[in-house]
Amino acid sequence: MSGATAPIPPTIGPVAPIVPSGSTQLRRLAPSIVAVWTIGTAIFWGCVTLTFGLFTLASALSGNIPIAMLLTLAMAASALLGGFLSWWLPRARYRYWGYQLSPDGLVLQHGVLWRTHSVIPYVRIQHVDVGQGPVERRFGLSRLQVHTAAATTDSTIPGIRADEAESLRRALLARVGDDDAV
C-alpha cells in the first residue's frame, strides 16, 4: 500500500521497545544513521564536484576558457548544493523513517518527498538477513533485509543498532513461524 501519509510523530524515541500489538506508534531508526547517510551523501556530491573540477581543468588546459569558466560555476553550484543536501537530506530521511511489528505484519513508513507506508504480512516473509557495510559497522549499525516471495516487495530497514537488528530478526522469524500456513 503506497500513498501520502502523515509524518511520524516527533514523540517517538530512538530506543523505544518493539511496540505491542494494536499500537500505532512506530519505532525510529538509531540516530547515528544520520551520520552514515551524511557521509554517503557527501561522498556522492564530492565525486560530482570533483568531476566538474576535472572537466574544468581539461577545458582550461585545452584553451577553452569560456567553457572552463562555465564549468567553474557548475562546480561551485555543485559544491554548494552538495553541502546543503549532505546536511539536510539525511536529517529529513531520519525524521520520516519508522517501523513496527503489528499483528498483521511488518509496518514500514518512510520517504521525504514521496512517502511510503507499507505492511509486509508475516506469511509473505521467506527469510530475513542482517547486514553491515564498513561505515555502518563503524557506527555500530546494521540493516535488516526482509525477503518475500516476490522480489519487488523485499524491504530493508536501515540504521538499526546491531544488537537490536538481531533481536528484531528473531522476533520476525518467530512470527513467520507462527503464521506459516505451509
Asked if residue 109 and residue 42 are part of one domain, the reply reads: no
CA angle in degrees (0–180, nearest 5) for 148-4-104: 40
Q: Is residue 18 part of a domain?
A: no
Q: Which comes out higher in pLDDT, residue 62 or 15?
A: 62
Do the domain assignments include residue 20? Answer: no
Q: Which domain holds residue 87?
A: 35-92
Helical spans, DSSP H, in the chain = 33-61, 65-95, 134-138, 162-179
Looking at the predicted structure, is the pLDDT value of residue 71 above 50? yes
Tell me: pLDDT of 140 over 80: yes
Note whether residue 21 is domain-resident: no
pLDDT score for 24: 63
Per DSSP, the three-state class of 117 is: strand
d(CA 81, CA 97) in angstroms, rounded, equals: 23
Q: Mark whether 104 and 155 lie in a shared domain.
A: yes
What single letter denotes the amino acid at residue 27? R
* Cα 18 off chain centre by: 19
For residue 70, is it within any domain?
yes
Q: Which pLDDT score, from 0 to 100, does residue 107 have?
A: 93
Query: Which pLDDT band, with edges at 50, 70 and 90, does 4 fall under?
Result: very low
pLDDT in tens, 88-129: 999 999 999 999 998 889 999 999 999 999 899 988 888 899
What is residue 143's predicted lDDT score, i.e. its pLDDT?
Answer: 95
Confidence of residue 15 (pLDDT cuts 50, 70, 90): very low
In a domain, 162, yes or no: yes
pLDDT tens for 30-57 read 999 999 999 999 999 999 999 999 999 9
Write out pLDDT tens, residues 152-173. 778 999 999 998 999 999 989 8
Domain match, 78 and 145 both: no
Does the residue 1 lie in any domain? no
